[in-house]
Structure 1
């Protein structure tokens, strides 16, 4: 899909590589409508249990920036409606100009997975899938899910990655940091698969041991040239928002992956529970200035064009 024009009154172009929309009408999201989770990892999320649409995202982007495109990520829709979500997002983009691409969901490990993927590919926005493997809620419980159905050791579930690879689709990988090295190992069997790591690798365990595990996991994934990382969502269920530490984590991620494999993303509107859009973007800008000042445009929008196959309107 072609993005909106790049140059516009000197404003900084921006592509938001991870956000969510929902209308809460014909599409059902259980976690937003009828299954409120008091243990949600960012805390009380009742403020976002309402329609969220493109005009709100545009209005949230601070002055001095122009949102030229965006990538919508599946929003935990009721799984029988995954195709309905893709079709709704496709229609929304046609009407309102956002998003520019869509990452859907598919039933890995089930017989109809290939058919669901092929149906989703009918949308010109569809770029790939976010399907989450079974993971442990705490690092000390990691071994309890090893080799379980749906885990990163389950060859049947992982066969979904082969279907993505065959179709030239990407996988949005979302696991907490204590599973990153397992993910890197699993991906060795899919050398041509494009992978986008979500939420800076979710460094939820901020103990020295936890951060060492996160660093080792990112290092293992960064060794795969087909993996990039979204600089997004550093909220954690295990401690309060820590701007200083989160800035350091962003800098570490940029250094580990290199500026050509880092993408700006907001996790709008979910991240707003803990940090405003403007404050998050300012942190990203500071991390870029500290680590890769010559790659500002790359991280803020150009890399998204490559990893999500977007086409700038002016051919830049």
Structure 2
């Protein structure tokens, strides 16, 4: 990586020539599943993170995704649960499998389901999700969650911890849903206590806190993640920098991630259509490509980050 020569002349600046696995995208059909944030009143929490999102409060189907990714050589994609009905997470998995088995022609090749590890029936729900062959993981809250008591911490909840252990049994990854900065030490201890579960941090493992102290803590944390062999990090979520984000804004964070984690445990995602609020699909991948070049990634390392790591992590 750093210090290695990169043949930029062999590829137009920013252009992605490699085969791609998009490790973070979403679909939704408002007629099939219930998505409170897309059908009920505008969510203040979603607005706070993503800005005005009214333009995506409509169906986003596999044919829409294919139109958006035209011109980018996406050979597989991994769907992340899209906050469908929290009372019936299995319905979303059933629908996604039906899409893959019909109009999707295999896509999404993998999907990550919503997982409420606090629930007393979580073991049964996980079994139901596992009935679908394209299931690859659960996305679970690590922060207390909306409506939880102020003193509740999932990482101290015996039920949550017991259900987490089921992921190893079923060979599922855990997609980390927003741990709070004050939970960092507990998160690291949890990762070390479960070496056979792969923990995946999306959107550069950044929190919504971007003050100087929070960024300094983030830099230290991703260094520790780089030392833990069961941690993967996604280059994704650039839309979280705002609808007018620029490559100059995301550059220092992406380069820090590449330097801290290395090429063997990084994957890339689009976060489409949510990040479509801020950029075209092609622009997101061009940004990935440019920043991998700037980090000094050679052809083999680019192939790992764009394709090979995702294939291995999600068993595609």
Q: Relative to structure 2, which stretch is displaced further, 240-249 or 275-284?
A: 240-249
- Provide closer, same or farther for how the CA distance between residues 240 and 280 of structure 1 changes in structure 2, counting only shifts above 3 A: same
Inter-partner Cα distance in structure 2 for 1:188 and 1:153: 15
Inter-partner Cα distance in structure 1 for 2:180 and 2:222: 8
Q: Relative to structure 2, which stretch is displaced further, 86-95 or 107-116?
A: 107-116
* Structure 2, unaligned runs of 5 or more: 1-15
Contact 2:138 / 2:174 at 8 angstroms: preserved in 1? Answer: yes
Deviations 1:89-115 (A, max 9, x none): 000011122110010022212221111
Contact 1:16 / 1:67 at 8 angstroms: preserved in 2? Answer: yes
Inter-partner Cα distance in structure 2 for 1:164 and 1:25: 31
* Shift >4 Å, 4+ stretches: 237-240
Return the offset for 1:188: 2.2
Partner of 1:20: 26
Contact 2:25 / 2:80 at 8 angstroms: preserved in 1? Answer: yes
- Provide closer, same or farther for how the CA distance between residues 305 and 181 of structure 1 changes in structure 2, counting only shifts above 3 A: same
Return the offset for 1:17: 0.4
**Aligned pair 1:199/2:203, yes or no?**
yes
**Aligned pair 1:105/2:114, yes or no?**
yes
Under a length normalisation based on structure 1, what TM-score does the superposition of the two structures give? 0.85
**Superposition pairs of residues 1-316 of structure 1, within 5 angstroms:** 12-39=18-45, 40=47, 41-63=49-71, 65-95=72-102, 96-97=104-105, 98-135=107-144, 148-175=151-178, 178=181, 179-236=183-240, 241-291=245-295, 292-294=297-299, 295-310=301-316
Contact 1:43 / 1:237 at 8 angstroms: preserved in 2? Answer: no
Inter-partner Cα distance in structure 2 for 1:150 and 1:27: 29
Larger RCO of the pair (alpha carbons < 8 Å, separation 6+): 2
- Provide closer, same or farther for how the CA distance between residues 54 and 177 of structure 1 changes in structure 2, counting only shifts above 3 A: same
Contact 1:83 / 1:119 at 8 angstroms: preserved in 2? Answer: yes
Q: Relative to structure 2, which stretch is displaced further, 197-206 or 74-83?
A: 197-206
Partner of 2:12: none
Deviations 1:241-299 (A, max 9, x none): 34313122111111111111110101100112223222211111011112213311111
RMSD: 2.3
Inter-partner Cα distance in structure 1 for 2:245 and 2:32: 35
- Provide closer, same or farther for how the CA distance between residues 61 and 180 of structure 1 changes in structure 2, counting only shifts above 3 A: farther
Return the offset for 1:156: 2.7
Contact 2:241 / 2:249 at 8 angstroms: preserved in 1? Answer: no
Deviations 1:14-71 (A, max 9, x none): 11101110010121000100131134211011111111011221221252x3211100
- Provide closer, same or farther for how the CA distance between residues 136 and 106 of structure 1 changes in structure 2, counting only shifts above 3 A: closer
Deviations 1:214-248 (A, max 9, x none): 11121222221011111110344799634313122
Contact 2:178 / 2:207 at 8 angstroms: preserved in 1? Answer: no
- Provide closer, same or farther for how the CA distance between residues 115 and 61 of structure 1 changes in structure 2, counting only shifts above 3 A: same
Return the offset for 1:136: 8.3
Deviations 1:91-148 (A, max 9, x none): 00111221100100222122211111111111010011001122589xxxxxx96xx3
Inter-partner Cα distance in structure 2 for 1:124 and 1:194: 19
